[in-house]
Amino acid sequence: MRSVDAGLAAPRSPLAAAHPTVKLCAALATVVLISTFPPAPSWRQGVTVAILLAVWGLARVSPGYVLRRVAAAAPFIALAACLPLVSGLPGAGALAGAVVFKATSAIVLLSILAATTPVEDILQSLCRLGVPRAFALTAVLMNRYLFVLLDEWRGISRARDCRTGGQLASGRCRMWANQAAMVFVRGWDRSARVAQALLTRGFRGEFPRLQRPDLGVAEAALAVALPLAVLLLRVV
């Protein structure tokens, strides 16, 4: 059994203790602001990197955790950066550099958010911030049943390995396709039963939750500080 905080990569840090809505607002606002930086390289990028490193330090997230996520996104960032390069437009190099800088900053920041905030808190904050109900609902159910589907996938894998001793006679792709189809069919059946369970438990289109206490002044200030710093960079 995992402990309560086990879902978090960095459970013990000042950032983990901060209110999830605060963190979410700060992270999103900062990402948006960084995305509006002009492409030409300047001291702004340098200071932004310094700020991000400071936040990273404050969050006590291991470098490996963040770098793995950056690595996972690297192919997509590279592809996006190639687009201006192949266009051959003037200033293409700076544009490509800006794409890499902005995307990487965003991923670093969001990884830090993910490492210090449980998914369920992020979802609840999204609801509070007025994200459409259908979206929040889908996200809540996905967050829950993704794990159930994963368990089913693992269960089927185990059963298969037991019967085949880990050896595969036919192709790997075919086996995976079969298994995915099985998980899909089971998921389909389950969705009907989950819908029934929702009905019997009084579901009327909402996922109400017992609320956390409201934001304090200090937390609100924290929420404003990070985007404000980046905004200052943007305007000076």
Q: Which is nearer to another protein, 64 or 202 (CB)?
A: 202
**Look-up of token digits 């609320």:** 211
| Contacts of another protein in 139-178 (CB under 8 A) | 140-141, 143-145, 147-148, 151
**Look-up of token digits 């269960």:** 155
- Give the interface segment with another protein, choosing from 15-23, 113-121, 175-183, 215-223 (CB under 8 A): 113-121
> Which residue in the set 210, 217, 235, 236 belongs to the binding site for another protein (CB under 8 A)?
210
Tell me the C-alpha distance between 127 and 214, whole Å: 15
Taking 3-state DSSP, the helix, strand and coil percentages for the chain, each rounded to the nearest 5, stand at 75, 0, 25
By CB under 8 A, is residue 7 in contact with another protein? yes
> Which residue in the set 11, 179, 207, 224 belongs to the binding site for another protein (CB under 8 A)?
207
Q: Which is nearer to another protein, 77 or 114 (CB)?
A: 114
Which of 116, 140, 120 has its CA nearest to residue 212? Answer: 120
The helix (run of H) or strand (run of E) holding residue 104 is helix 92-116
Burial of 128 (0-12, 13-18, 19+ CB in 10 A): middle
Which tokens hold the place of 68? 């793995």
Q: Which is nearer to another protein, 29 or 137 (CB)?
A: 137
By CB under 8 A, is residue 235 in contact with another protein? no
Residues 6+ apart with CB under 8 A from 87: none
By CB under 8 A, is residue 214 in contact with another protein? no
Question: 70-109 mask for another protein (x: CB under 8 A)?
Answer: ----------------------------------------
Footprint on this chain of another protein (rule: CB under 8 A): 1-2, 4, 6-7, 118-120, 123, 140-141, 143-145, 147-148, 151, 190, 193-194, 196-204, 206-211
